[in-house]
Structure 1
Amino acid sequence: MLRHPGMRAFMAARVAAVLATQVQAVVVAWQVYDLTRAPLALAYVGLAQFIPMLCLLLPAGDLMDRFARRPILAASWVVSALCSALLWWLSGHGVAGVSSIYAVLVLYGCARAFAGPALQSLLPQIVPREQLAQAIAVNSMLMRSATITGPFLGGLLYALGGGELTYLVCLGCFVLGALLLRYVTVAHAAPRAVGGTIWTRFAEGIGFIRSRPVILGCISLDLFAVLLGGVVALLPIYAHEVLHVGPQGLGALRSAMAVGEVGMGLYLSARPLNRRVGATMFGAVAVFGVANLVFALSHWFWLSFVALLVAGMADMVSVYIRGALVQFSTPDAMRGRVQAVNMLFIGSSNELGEFRAGTSAAWLGPVGAAVAGGLCTLGVVGTWAAAFGGLRRLDRFEEAGAGP
């Protein structure tokens, strides 16, 4: 599968960009909390990135179905590099307060609005359909490897050289990713969406998702499970006030989930799953919720690390199944708009989830917020399993393309 023309360049470009994203996320969160010591300030980190994504993801998805996806992705990474350069300048000039950081994160959210659907829509144009599930597993595993390295590297670079050195590394990784895209060979061009206005094309995409319970169930399950139950935004608070570890410990906690994801990704890439996929996905999300509950109640670093490790393994299973089901259910001509909605839901669960976690921590304290989140995740699993019975009973990935 990696022998397909351009596949290695695509994977290397993604690893570079994800590495930059993870390093930058650790350093921004640490700097903001270090400046303010306010959980609500961390909430605004997620909100500053989510608002532009909310406004731009659907127009971005329409562009993916009308124009070549590779140059759009390269341009979005160039803008991300500019954001890293601006954060480097702010850090080097000792700008007080966090309002300037939020402004840069808004621009960064704009770039991510185009990068997300472009990445998800480009992969099926590189590998044949029969190898798509395996490509998704390998791709996810490599991305999680970068997710492991990124937080550790971010904490180490910040401890050694502060924000200036760290943001320079992020800038270089984004530029490298954009340059590597020149060597990505698209095996077949996707059909182009034509006719109508942008609003009618949006309506077609939304109508298609509503007509496919498999797609709607997958992306909405991820939205509410992570939106209500994610604990990543609380890690700086846990590192400071509960576990009493520094930036290196924060980097280790952020990497713990990725360690579990990579381990599970290696297993899935060697032994791809294709039986009882629906029930397995719901079970994995339930394990994710239980692991987050253990993390919420832990006051020992090693137990917190293991809980996040298990949560990462469960999340990898869910990501693998959900990604394959959405790809198998979507025709090429609709892929950009469907992936835009998918990325909107993922962005909501991640960035808006950070806002939810920060505000909950301000009201309930970090432990109370994390416990409530884990319980909400388990509630979502039960509700969605009952509401999407067809998805729960789905056996093979290929059955997802059979229609409603």
Structure 2
Amino acid sequence: MADHIHPFRIANFRSYWLSRFSGTIAVSAMSIVIGWQVYNLARETMDVRQAAFMLGMIGFAQFVPLFLLTPITGLVADSVDRRWIVRGTTTLLVLTAGALWLLTWSGHLTLGALFAAAVAFGVARAFSGPAYSALAPNLVPRESLPTAIAVSSIAWQVGTIAGPSVGGLLYAIHPEVAYGVATLLFVVALGFMFLIGPVPQPAAQADHRPLARIAEGFRYVRRNRLVQAAITLDLFAVLLAGATSLLPVYARDILHVGSQGLGVLAAGMGIGAASTAIWFSFRPMSRNVGVKMLAAVVVFGLSILTFGIAAHITGALGLRSSTVRLGTMAVFIHPAFLLSLLALIVAGGADMVSVYVRQSLIQLHTPDAMRGRVSAVSQLTISASNELGEFESGVMASLLGPVGAVVFGGVGAIGVTLLWSRLFPELRRARTFDPPEILETEPEHGEAKP
């Protein structure tokens, strides 16, 4: 690999990284607290399957604005200063977290308020996702981009590790403490975003064809089969095997480890993903990238399958559990809990491999003038796999039970990977991230070279 500047040597990227890190901790902390509160409030009047369905509806509430707005937000990211888009959405998150803090502190928090917050999260992510993704390549030289993707993923994954644990601990102190800290972290993220100086931005298009320009992003993905394969494989695998929305069910009613155990479980995938991202930041992947992505998704499905049946396997073996307390902290010496956590760690590492390959292919195979719209298409599929996947998990849990839903998803992810290896031989044959020559400006009449 050619010599390149490490992204952390670039001031704008450092501010970008710190903003994303702080914001991710806040989002992860709020997500785990919102899920826990929704499930607990629902369990006051519902059984386990009905309450699990409410967790799925929280995911659906986030997905709807993402689905409706993403085509527009991609065009916005290619037309408006991407820094100001992120600044605006982070401000919305500050206000949302502050409102939840006030409602919790005053004792007026309801399921309706939590669902309204989920919608606000969806709106913010719809605009910030494409802007964030398209901004990173503007901050570093092209040859440093794969390392920047890995380092940026560290901010996300380490934040994913810290956020749920911090959220669980702060919730154990008092729920409004978790929201108060999240609000402050969003303020910090906003401050670092204001430290990013001017960056290159694609020239504004004056052809007055906004709908055509939106369609070009979808057309580019459709014509570039390698990018299409990477995006859709992640879509269907995580859509089926997205078990994280059911963690409150496992923590409360299957593993019986409470809010602190929930925080540890929620951090599991982040631990594996961050470890993998750190490895890639020093040893970037360079060969057989397609096969490695396919193998990683199979491992992801197997890990989710293991997580789904861990409690029942250990129960059948008659293994006993115990909890050791260290001050206010609970340390779980619990075979089912430890096996579940290990499965989630492996799943997170495998998912990071898939994310790394997908993001590198998208960013390196896409002209800068179209990165916002292509990133929007990618975000739409990520949202479908995550938020809509939470809805799918909730629906399946209401039909099959939480364990049956997770097992079904793990098997489905493996099946989709095997099918995609046949439908998209381009992915299986991809040896490196090196793209063919691509146009640095938008092609006329929406034509894009794959």
1:134-183 Cα distance to aligned partner (Å, 9 max, x none):
11011112211111000000000000122x11111111111111111122
Pairing 1:130–2:143 present: yes
> What residue is the counterpart of 1:13 in the other structure?
19
CA contact (8 A) 1:138 1:269 kept: yes
Question: Which of 206, 209, 219 is residue 207 of structure 1 equivalent to?
Answer: 219
CA contact (8 A) 1:264 1:316 kept: yes
Pairing 1:154–2:167 present: yes
Report the Cα offset of residue 215 of structure 1: 1.3
- The correspondence of residues 331-350 of structure 1 with structure 2, limited to 5 A, is 331-350=367-386
CA contact (8 A) 2:305 2:407 kept: yes
After TM superposition, the structure 1 stretch with the greater mean CA deviation from structure 2, 182-191 or 136-145, is 182-191
Report the Cα offset of residue 192 of structure 1: 3.1
Report the Cα offset of residue 96 of structure 1: 5.6
Pairing 1:384–2:397 present: no
Normalising by the residue count of structure 1, what TM-score does the alignment of the two structures yield?
0.97
Question: Which of 79, 92, 109 is residue 92 of structure 2 equivalent to?
Answer: 79
The percent identity for this pair of structures is 42
1:15-45 Cα distance to aligned partner (Å, 9 max, x none):
0110110000010000000111211110111
Task: Tell me the distance in 1 between the aligned counterparts of 2:201 and 2:207.
Answer: 18
Higher helix share: 1
Report the Cα offset of residue 115 of structure 1: 0.8
Q: Which amino acid aligns with 2:299?
A: V
> What residue is the counterpart of 2:388 in the other structure?
352
Q: Which amino acid aligns with 1:116?
A: G
> What residue is the counterpart of 2:28 in the other structure?
22
Task: Tell me the distance in 2 between the aligned counterparts of 1:260 and 1:193.
Answer: 42
Report the Cα offset of residue 67 of structure 1: 1.3
Report the Cα offset of residue 190 of structure 1: 2.6
Unaligned segments of structure 1, at least 5 residues: none
Larger Rg: 2
CA contact (8 A) 2:305 2:411 kept: yes
Change over 3 Å in CA distance of 1:401–1:153 after alignment to 2: farther
- The correspondence of residues 1-400 of structure 1 with structure 2, limited to 5 A, is 1=6, 2-37=8-43, 38-95=51-108, 97-162=110-175, 164-299=176-311, 300-399=336-435
Task: Tell me the distance in 2 between the aligned counterparts of 1:67 and 1:143.
Answer: 24
Report the Cα offset of residue 401 of structure 1: 5.5
Task: Tell me the distance in 1 between the aligned counterparts of 2:216 and 2:74.
Answer: 12
Task: Tell me the distance in 1 between the aligned counterparts of 2:405 and 2:28.
Answer: 24
Change over 3 Å in CA distance of 1:122–1:389 after alignment to 2: same
CA contact (8 A) 1:330 1:338 kept: yes
CA contact (8 A) 1:83 1:105 kept: no
Report the Cα offset of residue 191 of structure 1: 3.3
Change over 3 Å in CA distance of 1:204–1:309 after alignment to 2: same
1:220-252 Cα distance to aligned partner (Å, 9 max, x none):
111110001111011111111111111010000
Q: Which amino acid aligns with 2:403?
A: V
Q: What is the DSSP-based 3-state SS (H/G/I as helix, E as strand, rest coil) of the residue aligned with 2:435?
A: helix
Change over 3 Å in CA distance of 1:214–1:186 after alignment to 2: farther
Q: What is the DSSP-based 3-state SS (H/G/I as helix, E as strand, rest coil) of the residue aligned with 1:225?
A: helix
1:45-100 Cα distance to aligned partner (Å, 9 max, x none):
11111111111111111011111100111000000111111111221222264012
Report the Cα offset of residue 193 of structure 1: 3.6
